[in-house]
Amino acid sequence: MFRNIIFVIATVLISHSLSAQFAWVDPPVPDVTQELTVYVDVAQDPDCSNLASSTGPLYMWTWMPAGPAFTDGNGTWDNSNEEMVLTHEGGTLYSITFIPTDFYGVDADAVYENGISFLAKEKDGGGGGDCADGGGEFKTSDINLTIPSPFASVRKVFSVPDLFEDSLYTNQDDIFTLAYNNSVEEKPSMQNIDEAFVYARVLGDNNTLYNVTSLSQVGNNPDLMMTNQGDGKFTFSIVPEEFYSDALPDGVGIKALQFQIITWPLCGSDCAVDGEFLYPYACQ
């Protein structure tokens, strides 16, 4: 599923949760005290297909970081508030433009910390709990958009798939890619490097941490060397179930992936990207 992934995909995913396959915000790294536009392509929803052929107006129904702050909010499920109507951009693409802090009546931190959760629906969302073609509900799946702050420190480590609701949701044979952008590295001792390695550990579901290779031997294990993609971009791709099979005892599953990015030969903290990168693992 995630084979042949290049670094640019990881860069895009900073502003999109996994649900953002069919929804996104513009600008992708917004000042939420200013206008942004939320887009949703209802035909791309993998689980709910009833709206793909909808001919009526569609409405936003939102609950995070709060309900809409204005009178009547979302309205009722069978009668959406007209203030929540989406603009039809053409085809199956819809949008709505607003200032998040005003729209939700919250401060900016609440938007960045919680993101924007919503769905698109017909004025009467229907019932019956089935939004597939021919079902009784006329809505999309729940959409959870991460809203990265332009005021936060520069993000230099990404993953594909990226974290969604604090976990990686993946299948057993999917590739996980860790990506590091050294071109924005702020630590002088780690700038302009030619090689990078991953100190890879795995937290078992028995809450015990296991090494793939001891820290003192990381540079001697070619499987732990990141691929230099040029322009300061490095990637490290694995199939977790296969990669950690020798490190985990029989009968122990994966609870979380844990990485440090280092250079070799190791020279203490000066030869490591600050921080450890932890990815709670949820296999579908």
Instruction: Name residue 247's amino acid.
Output: A
Give me the chain's average pLDDT, please.
86
Pairing mode of beta strands 116-126, 137-139: antiparallel
Token pair, residue 213, equals: 């290779």
Q: For residue 171, is pLDDT > 80?
A: no
Q: For residue 169, is pLDDT > 70?
A: no
Question: Once rounded to an integer, what is the mean pLDDT over residues 22-37?
Answer: 89
160 within 8 A of 132, measured Cβ to Cβ: no
Q: For residue 20, is pLDDT > 70?
A: no
Q: For residue 247, is pLDDT > 50?
A: yes
Please give the domain boundaries of the chain with CATH numbers for all domains: 17-145 (no CATH), 157-283 (2.60.40)
With a pLDDT cut of 90, the percent of the chain lying above it is: 62
Please identify which residue in the block is written with the tokens 């900073």: 14
How far is the C-alpha of 284 from the C-alpha of 272, rounded, in Å? 33
pLDDT tens digit sequence for 253-274: 999 899 999 999 988 888 999 8
Q: CA triplet 166, 94, 149: central angle to 5 degrees? A: 40
pLDDT tens digit sequence for 127-158: 888 998 888 999 999 998 988 888 766 778 98
Q: For residue 1, is pLDDT > 90?
A: no
DSSP state of 150: T
Q: For residue 283, is pLDDT > 80?
A: no
Q: For residue 228, is pLDDT > 60?
A: yes
Handedness of CA 107, 112, 113, 115 (dihedral sign): positive
- pLDDT value at position 8? 36
- pLDDT value at position 12? 36
Confidence of residue 11 (pLDDT cuts 50, 70, 90): very low
Token pair, residue 264, equals: 């070799």
- pLDDT value at position 222? 97
For 231, half-sphere exposure in the C-beta direction (CA atoms, 13 angstrom radius) is: 4
Q: For residue 251, is pLDDT > 80?
A: yes
- pLDDT value at position 3? 32
With a pLDDT cut of 70, the percent of the chain lying above it is: 87
Question: Once rounded to an integer, what is the mean pLDDT over residues 215-225?
Answer: 95
Confidence of residue 208 (pLDDT cuts 50, 70, 90): very high
How far is the C-alpha of 117 from the C-alpha of 23, rounded, in Å? 11
Instruction: Indicate the range of 10-19, 202-211, 237-246 predicted with least confidence.
Output: 10-19
Confidence of residue 21 (pLDDT cuts 50, 70, 90): low
